[in-house]
């Protein structure tokens, strides 16, 4: 007794999608693994307001470099409310951070100031071997 299935020798025109689904699932797994590994950008160090406002913190350890806008002239620079010439900024920062284990500096700039001046101060801080440089924002300044 013999049995036959289908009409003898005809071709089927249906597409076999099983290999395509297998490839799709493999690609999906690959992209799920790769996406979290991509770099997310620059880490920013922002000063946090104190948790206890009554507790006095030691402020002489915090170095804030201010870049102040002057209309029609180059900006002025201050290190913790002390006026500093731009040419002396690198030498003064190098002197400040010479004996410090904690090398953190914050930069505060006026709103009307071109960011190129802030970038120069960041570069000068990097040249003075400052490890972490943070930018002070108006919201953080208001919280102090």
Has residue 8 been placed in a domain?
Answer: no
Has residue 88 been placed in a domain?
Answer: yes
Has residue 121 been placed in a domain?
Answer: yes
**φ, ψ of residue 68 in degrees (nearest 5):** -105, 135
**pLDDT of residue 91 exceeding 60:** yes
Has residue 138 been placed in a domain?
Answer: yes
* Residue 131 near residue 103, CB atoms below 8 Å: yes
Has residue 14 been placed in a domain?
Answer: no
For residue 98, the domain's CATH number is 3.30.420.270
| pLDDT above 70 as % of the chain | 72
Please, which pLDDT band fits residue 53 given cuts at 50, 70 and 90? low
Please, which pLDDT band fits residue 24 given cuts at 50, 70 and 90? very high
Domain housing 100: 63-143
Has residue 3 been placed in a domain?
Answer: no
Q: What is the mean pLDDT of residues 80-106?
A: 88
Has residue 15 been placed in a domain?
Answer: no
Instruction: Give, in order, the Cα–Cα distances in Å from 33 to each of 26, 27, 39, 77.
Output: 11, 10, 13, 47
* Residue 121 near residue 89, CB atoms below 8 Å: yes
Please, which pLDDT band fits residue 27 given cuts at 50, 70 and 90? very high
Total structural domains in the chain? 1
**pLDDT of residue 5 exceeding 70:** no
């Amino acid at each position: 007794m013999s049995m036959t299935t289908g009409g003898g020798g005809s071709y089927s025109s249906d597409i076999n999608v099983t290999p395509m689904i297998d490839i799709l699932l493999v690609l999906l797994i690959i992209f799920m693994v790769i996406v979290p590994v991509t770099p997310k950008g620059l880490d920013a160090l922002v000063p946090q307001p104190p948790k206890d406002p009554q507790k006095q913190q030691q402020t002489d350890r915090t170095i804030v470099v201010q870049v102040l806008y002057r209309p029609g002239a180059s900006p002025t620079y201050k290190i913790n409310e002390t006026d500093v010439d731009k040419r002396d900024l690198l030498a003064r920062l190098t002197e400040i951070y010479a004996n410090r284990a904690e090398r953190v500096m914050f930069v505060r700039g006026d709103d009307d100031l071109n960011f190129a001046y802030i970038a120069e101060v960041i570069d000068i801080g990097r040249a003075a071997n400052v490890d972490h440089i943070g930018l002070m924002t108006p919201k953080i300044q208001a919280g102090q």
